[in-house]
Amino acid sequence: MEQAYEAVQIRDPSNSRGLVPLCAKRLLDQLRKPQIDWRTVLNSFVQEEIADYSFMPPDRRMEDSIFFLPDFNEKEEFASDILFMIDTSASMSDAMVTAAYSEVKGAIDQFDGKLKGWLGFFDAAVVEPKPFMSEGEFRAIKPVGGGGTDFLVIFRFIREYMQDRLPACIIILTDGYAPFPEESVCMGIPVLWLLNNENAEPAWGSVARIRV
């Protein structure tokens, strides 16, 4: 059994933690309907481009008029620079990771091509978040993990490696089985804890829950 485990285990030379693929392809094949209404949840985070009245294009109903009148355009919602971090520690089962993936996929679907961000993973260390702008790019990002859980590593990574382009918000999908850091670590960036555990109670940030 030890030899079989070593055969599938991937080593991260930077910290020597075990990185197990978690049957990534099977997880992606089993994505299900999301439980979160992401348009509502991200309402305070999205970047809205509102053009109530614009001359591009002009009002076509008045083409025969000598006046060049503006047309009314409905507002469009964009969600940009959203950082999704999925907990892939040993306490997260395949079903939990699948549920987390399903929520990210649901956010992409609900914003219909108007959501741009990063997807990363963490346990006791961070797997570098990868950018995505489409479902295809999202599906190409495979989960890795399997160690302990440390939320603080997320914020350390952002401070050290994402200063050039900070996230507009951070969404942490987790079972919550780790000490929560002090609020000051988030550098004023809004944080949403998306928990699959009814007992975990973060002392700060927004909270949403899903069932597995």
Provide the number of structural domains found in the chain: 2
**Is residue 83 domain-shared with residue 54, that is, in the same domain?**
no
Q: 63 with 119, same domain? A: no
Q: Are 173 and 161 contained in the same domain?
A: yes
Percent of the chain with pLDDT over 90: 37
63 and 14 within one domain:
no
Question: Exposed, middle or buried by CB within 10 Å (0-12, 13-18, 19+), for 167?
Answer: buried
Per-residue pLDDT, averaged over 59-70, amounts to 42
Do residue 68 and residue 119 come from a single domain? no
Burial of 174 from C-beta contacts in 10 A (0-12 / 13-18 / 19+): buried
Q: Model confidence over 142-201: pLDDT tens digits?
A: 887 778 899 999 999 999 999 999 999 999 999 999 999 999 999 999 999 999 999 999
Burial of 200 (0-12, 13-18, 19+ CB in 10 A): middle
pLDDT per residue over 14-41, tens digit each? 343 444 444 555 565 666 666 776 666 6
Shared domain check, 126 and 71: no
Asked whether the predicted pLDDT for residue 98 surpasses 50, the reply is yes
| pLDDT for residue 102 | 87
Asked if residue 50 has pLDDT above 60, the reply is: no
* Domain limits for position 66: 49-76
Which CATH number do you get for residue 16? 3.40.50
Residue type, 171: I
Point out the least confidently predicted range of 90-94, 133-137, 143-147: 143-147
**What integer pLDDT is reported at residue 94 of this predicted model?**
84
Give CA–CA dist 13/171, Å, rounded.
Answer: 27
Question: Is pLDDT larger for residue 192 or for residue 54?
Answer: 192
Mean pLDDT computed over every residue of the chain: 75
In this predicted structure, what is the pLDDT of residue 63?
Answer: 47
Per-residue confidence (pLDDT) for residue 17, from 0 to 100 = 42
CA dist 186 and 16 (Å) reads 27
Retrieve residue 186's tokens: 């988030």
pLDDT at site 32? 62
- CA distances 102 to 30, 135, 162, 168, Å, are 9, 12, 25, 21
**Which parts of the chain fold into alpha helices (H)?**
2-8, 24-29, 38-41, 94-111, 135-139, 152-161
Phi, psi of 28 (to 5 degrees): -70, -30
Residues 71 and 155 in one domain: no
The more confidently predicted of residues 61 and 91 is: 91
